[in-house]
Amino acid sequence: MTLSEWASLHRSDLVAEPPDKNLIAQLRAVADRELRDAETVESCDGRLGHAHSACLAIAAAARRLRDRLSAWLAAEHPNLLPE
């Protein structure tokens, strides 16, 4: 059974967590900083570097969220995770 199939069967059991306001603020700060910095750079490579940094920060935040979800699944439904 996939996670999507399980979620469809157990929708009534799932409770959405409120978004982590601190994490959202951090992501916005990174994006704002990178956009401001990119405006001061004339080269395309420099702008690309700023975009890359923003993507890495967002990917790190997504990884933290994935890890939290995995920990919750392991605690609540250990039979759903691959061994």
Q: How many domains does the chain fold into?
A: 1
User: What is the model's pLDDT at position 27?
Assistant: 75
> Domain range for residue 32?
18-80
Tokens in use for 5? 């199939």
35 belongs to a structural domain: yes
Model pTM? 0.49
Q: Which long-range contacts (CB under 8 A, 24 or more apart) does 66-70 make?
A: none
Location of structure tokens 């009534």: 12
25 belongs to a structural domain: yes
pLDDT, averaged per 10 consecutive residues of the chain (83 residues), comes to 73 66 79 80 86 79 77 78 65
4 belongs to a structural domain: no
